Amino acid sequence: MSDSKKTDWALYFRTRQQELEAAHAVAIADEPITRTPAIPQEKVGISVKRVLTRADAIGLEVKQQAFFEHRGRTFYMTDSDNHTAGDVKTEAKDIAILQVFARHPQARLGVLAEFADNKFSWARVADPVGVPRELYVDYMPNKVEAKSAGWSEGKRVAVGGRLNGTYNDGAMLNEHDVLFTKATDLIAWLDDWQAILSAKKAA
C-alpha cells in the first residue's frame, strides 16, 4: 500500500469523536437566580445581631432590605463516568437574603453587609481613614516556568526569594473602599471604629 493510501488513524478517531459529541450535544443552561422583595424579619441570627449591635453603638443610621432569592437548578454540562450532560447538579432552593445598610450621619463612614439565611456572606465598607494593606506581590516563579527555563528547584526558590526581598519592602496602602468576606474582619473593623469614636467623644 502506498503512503498516499495510508489512513491517518489519529485524525480519523479525533474526527469521529467530534462527530459523536456534536450528535449528542445538548443545549444546557442553568436556571436563573431571581429575587423577590420581602419584609425583614424581627427575629435575626446571631451574626446579624452582632453587626446591628455594633452599628447602633457607633451611631450609624441603619436600614434593612430583605429578599427571597430563588436559585434555580444547575446542570452538568459534559458527560463523565458518574453523570450525563443535562443531569441535575444542584436542586433549586430558596434563600432568605438580608442586606444591612449603615452609615454615619456626619462622616464618610458606612457599611453594606449581606446575609444569606442569617449567615454572613460579604460586606463592603467605606472608611474615611482607610484600612491598611501591605503592597505585596509574590514574584516566586511557578514550577512550569522554572522547568521551561531549565532551572533547578533550588534556583527557582533562590530567584523568587531574591525578587520578593527586593520589591516587597513592607510599604502599606490605605484602602477606603474595602470588601470583607469574613464576618470576623467586619466585626473587628466595627469594633475599631467604636473605639475611635468613643475616644473622640470623651476628648
Q: What local confidence, expressed as pLDDT, does residue 113 receive?
A: 97
Tabulate helix, strand, coil % of the chain (nearest 5): 35, 30, 35
Query: C-alpha 1: how far from its chain's center?
Result: 60
Q: What local confidence, expressed as pLDDT, does residue 162 receive?
A: 92
pLDDT in tens, the chain (203 residues): 445 566 677 777 777 777 666 655 545 677 888 889 888 888 888 999 999 999 999 999 999 999 998 888 888 888 888 888 888 888 888 899 999 999 998 888 999 999 999 999 999 999 999 988 888 889 898 888 888 888 999 999 999 999 889 988 888 888 999 999 999 999 999 999 999 988 888 87
Q: Where are the domains positioned within the chain? A: 25-130+174-202, 136-169
Phi, psi of 57 (to 5 degrees): -65, -35
Q: What type of residue sits at position 188?
A: A
Angle at 99 between CA 95 and CA 104, to 5 degrees: 170
Residues whose CB falls within 8 Å of the CB of residue 91, separated by 6 or more in sequence, listed in order: 73
Query: Strand 88-90 to strand 74-75: parallel, antiparallel, or no bridges (unpaired)?
Result: antiparallel
Q: What local confidence, expressed as pLDDT, does residue 1 receive?
A: 47
Q: What local confidence, expressed as pLDDT, does residue 88 receive?
A: 85
Q: What local confidence, expressed as pLDDT, does residue 22 receive?
A: 63
Place of cell 445581631: 49
Residues whose CB falls within 8 Å of the CB of residue 114, separated by 6 or more in sequence, listed in order: 97, 98, 99, 100, 121, 122, 123
Count of alpha carbons within 13 angstroms of residue 136, beta-carbon side: 7
**pTM for the full model?**
0.65
Q: What local confidence, expressed as pLDDT, does residue 23 receive?
A: 56
Count of other CB atoms within 10 angstroms of residue 115: 23
Cβ-contact 191, 54 below 8 angstroms = yes
From residue 97, give the alpha-carbon distance in Å to each of 68, 115, 182, 200.
Answer: 6, 6, 17, 35
From residue 77, give the alpha-carbon distance in Å to each of 16, 21, 56, 85, 190.
Answer: 20, 12, 47, 5, 43
